[in-house]
Amino acid sequence: MEGYHSTSVDFLVSSNPLSGAKNKNSLGSSFDIVFEKAYIYDSKARSIRLEILETELYFNMPNVGAEYTNQTVRIIGPNKTTNIIQVVDIVIPRGLYDPSSLNSAFQYQCDVANFPANMIQLVANEPINRIQLRFNNVNAQVSMANQLYWGFAALIGFTPNLYVANFVGELVTGQLLPTFNKINYFTITSNITSNATIVNGSSTHVIARILITGSAGYQILNSPNFPYSFDITYLRGTNIKSLTFQLRDDTGNLVDTGGENWSLRYRLSYEY
């Protein structure tokens, strides 16, 4: 606009303590930054706007773990050494799984329990979005009837029940949608502004949303074409010594970053 001019300054913040992050929580999802000198929002500015330009994090938040009570399933079948029928509770290690990696972990735990190789397989039927149990041994059984195993049943989309093999190679299809997806998207909250995003009609401190565009265990880089933008002109003349940033899931809970750092870049634009 004629008669006006603007300037901007960018800020890169990271949860890495080696980069200066303070008060990082045990989950790795909340941290503070402390300015060497108090930052002053220019009182001469006609308007001030905050934009969240980039975010970076790793998609490694567990979908299997004690918090979901979905690690345990009972397997019944022959011992590969003695051929005697045994009953073993298989425990999947805490982690972030897709159907393929869950089957790999399942096979490893069955091998540790001395069951025959691939006695039971977890098979992803992607066209119908279901998990199938493939029984490669007629004496194999999967028990998910007890409450201890309900979480695993829900994870792979089966109702709590006892599943048995009627013939070698039988495929049993899960009746429900699998629940591997525990997080639909991430949000970042901060006390950098009180005029943040309104979520479902409620005021929040959400300054950014990060869509999950990467595979499990990989980095998510988010640089939206239309970044989140907020008018913070009300802060003219004030100064800040520290800020807090938090990484949350779509329900507002702080996430467990699994030891990985995360970062964001924001811009303050001043118009005079």
What would the pLDDT profile of 221-265 be if each residue is shown by its tens digit? 999 888 999 999 999 999 999 999 999 999 999 999 989 999 999
- Residues 18, 79, single domain; the answer is no
pLDDT at 112: 97
Question: Which whole number is the average pLDDT over 158-179?
Answer: 96
Asked whether residue 52 carries a pLDDT value surpassing 70, the answer given is yes
* In a domain? residue 1: no
pLDDT above 70: residue 2: no
* Residue at a domain's end among 173, 206, 221: 173
Domain count, the chain: 2
Q: Both 99 and 126 in a single domain? A: yes
Domain that holds residue 93: 66-173
Same domain, 48 and 108: no
Please check whether residues 159 and 216 belong to one and the same domain: no
> Alpha-carbon distance 52 to 11, whole Å?
10
**In the predicted structure, residue 4 carries a pLDDT above the cut 90:** no
**Given this model, what pLDDT does residue 161 score?**
97
Mark which of 150, 173, 196 sits at the end of a domain.
Answer: 173
pLDDT digits 0-9 by tens, 122-156: 999 999 999 999 999 999 999 999 999 999 999 99
Q: Are 118 and 40 contained in the same domain?
A: no
Q: Of 115, 139, 173, which residue constitutes the final position of a domain?
A: 173
Q: Is residue 178 one of the residues assigned to a domain?
A: no
Separation of alpha carbons 256 and 38, rounded Å: 31
Instruction: Give dist(CA 195, CA 228) in Å, integer.
Output: 12
Q: What CATH number does the domain containing 263 carry?
A: 2.60.120
CB atoms within 10 A of CB 85: 12
Q: Are 42 and 72 in a shared domain? A: no
> Is 127 in the same domain as 210?
no
How high is the pLDDT of residue 216?
82
Q: Confirm whether 236 is domain-assigned.
A: yes
In this structure, is residue 18 part of a structural domain?
yes
Question: For residue range 81-121, what is the model confidence (pLDDT) as tens digits?
Answer: 999 999 999 999 999 999 999 999 999 999 999 999 999 99
Is position 225 within any domain?
A: yes
